[in-house]
Structure 1
């Protein structure tokens, strides 16, 4: 069996590979950092960008993928001990890196790759994808970057502007358009009105963050109404206060369109209230049902509700499984 690419006692090298989109990169990087918290390791971020429309081709039609990258130098030897990748763009590389490394690299793919899991050392999909197999380790939600240490550090960094906000503080995290969901101006207006009513009734404040997928018209409508409340609406300029908002919040409201947003929120131990959007996704419905079963989330029904639960720690659990299987292979 292959031996480790690093001599015994030296830190592992881990690559977090994605196409660079924030939500996709967060999964690979969050999982890589979780492994590094459990064992000495250096983590490198790698971005995959294909020439022209080649990234849309099925992986079988790309026999020499490194030649088709816009920047081949970023995906080049020396190969890492552990390769953690997320997203369709990485698949042509993920299924070949073991051969390129002569079996030394342990290959992990998050999400459902929609190709046989046996092509990887480990696949870590969300439980709601219902993927099974010997080398499949399902988790609730998606890997993320929320840890108690990060929340504390980000809260300290933004303390001057967040500390004066009245309690209860409500973090409002808004997604947007996806294959299954949308946020029209009409729904955005109704959602903002519902949030405003609940926060005013509680005498609290808001901390509002939009994502890149939020339609500009919907963002404008929501920002205009929510700016009338105590708090702040981040305009996308300067340092991103996203993690500070999660840390400072007494309640977190997150739209239903994103596994990442709800997973991050449920990793804090704060009450998570899910905001309904237009559209429907069976997989996301199963995911939100799972969060509700775990006691982390409930549907937002116009009022702020209090409850407690054990913070979600699926990323650390997945990292432990990576190291367990990595060690077994190295001993073999």
Structure 2
């Protein structure tokens, strides 16, 4: 939960930044803002109004990218949610390595933003965006919002959006989310005769049981022949699994490889699938399916041990948001979320109410 933030300039840099101040200027000079920090958010995005916030016009949003698709999906999800709630101009800014970002921060410059309007919000996901977030804010102002657990102290940023399964607490500038944010939108067009099966692969947190996974997929297809099924792999899917999934195509079953997916394919499929099954290792796709409002089932994969990803999946199971394959075999059926699972929309609303209230005087 975020309580009102201090109005003094941020002064908690890591040692290498504190030591790098030119001419003995200290960390406070290095990280001095161009905007008043103002109050923070609490868990509901409420609290006393920040009277320095403007109350109309188009928001200028800078979205910083480290080039990693998963990170871009998170920041894009928040940017689009903000745009659905308020007129906004979105600017996508690819970043170089951290060395150049640090040089920009020390010099008070941010070349990627040259020619763009000053930002109201600066978004970045992943460690490769952290120094750039600080550099952009120092050079041009705005609020720096970091998605995922930051590698630098949370007090350096205006807001940190961290999945609750990371177990991070104790910062006044922290807002927890149910899983990573994503750009999916809730849909009312789910068709009961359409099914989607999303297959991941081995990861740091999960091993891979190809025979077990394929057995679950075959059982789903055999026991629900009235449905039109789409099977889809991912970048992590082993070649042998991919090839064997492709052999299941035929009749009402089709296979879609990630290698030739058109842009927006997953969003369009999740918007209409009445039933979505996701392998347990693919946490991001689980949250995307739930955000789309789909009835979601869980294909079992062998965990390597306790992990934050597994904790997130366990939380979804405890809340009854996903149906494990074993329970489906026993007669349970996946159900859509009872309430909209729109974390990007919830966070966007909290940000706007706090920093850009439309009724501010």
**Larger displacement relative to structure 2 (86-95 or 119-128):** 86-95
Q: Residue 227 of structure 1: which of 249, 266, 287 is its match?
A: 249
Distance 1:39 1:229, change over 3 A: same
Q: Secondary structure at the match of 2:197?
A: strand
Please state how far the C-alpha of 1:62 moved relative to its aligned partner: 6.1
Other-structure match for 1:172:
197
Other-structure match for 2:131:
92
Aligned CA-pair RMSD: 3.1
- TM-score w.r.t. length of structure 1: 0.79
Q: 1:122·1:322 contact (CA, 8 Å) conserved in 2?
A: no
Tell me the distance in 2 between the aligned counterparts of 1:194 and 1:283.
Answer: 25
The structure with more radius of gyration: 2
Q: 1:15·1:45 contact (CA, 8 Å) conserved in 2?
A: yes
Unmatched tracts of structure 1, length 5 or more:
156-162
Please state how far the C-alpha of 1:7 moved relative to its aligned partner: 7.4
Q: State how many pairs are aligned.
A: 300
Please state how far the C-alpha of 1:206 moved relative to its aligned partner: 1.6
Other-structure match for 1:145:
183
Other-structure match for 2:335:
307
Other-structure match for 2:223:
201
Q: 2:66·2:95 contact (CA, 8 Å) conserved in 1?
A: yes
Please state how far the C-alpha of 1:243 moved relative to its aligned partner: 1.5
Please state how far the C-alpha of 1:44 moved relative to its aligned partner: 1.9
Please state how far the C-alpha of 1:268 moved relative to its aligned partner: 2.7
Please state how far the C-alpha of 1:188 moved relative to its aligned partner: 2.6
Unmatched tracts of structure 2, length 5 or more:
1-6, 8-34, 37-50
**Larger displacement relative to structure 2 (2-11 or 254-263):** 2-11
- TM-score w.r.t. length of structure 2: 0.73
Tell me the distance in 2 between the aligned counterparts of 1:217 and 1:114.
Answer: 37
Other-structure match for 1:289:
314
Tell me the distance in 1 between the aligned counterparts of 2:277 and 2:243.
Answer: 18
Q: Deviations over 1:107-132 (max 9, x none)?
A: 10011013211110000000111212
Q: Residue 121 of structure 1: which of 158, 168, 188 is its match?
A: 158
Tell me the distance in 2 between the aligned counterparts of 1:175 and 1:5.
Answer: 46
Q: Secondary structure at the match of 1:96?
A: helix
Distance 1:270 1:63, change over 3 A: closer
Q: How does 1:126-137 map to 2 (within 5 A)?
A: 126-132=163-169, 133-137=171-175
Q: Residue 59 of structure 2: which of 1, 12, 29 is its match?
A: 12
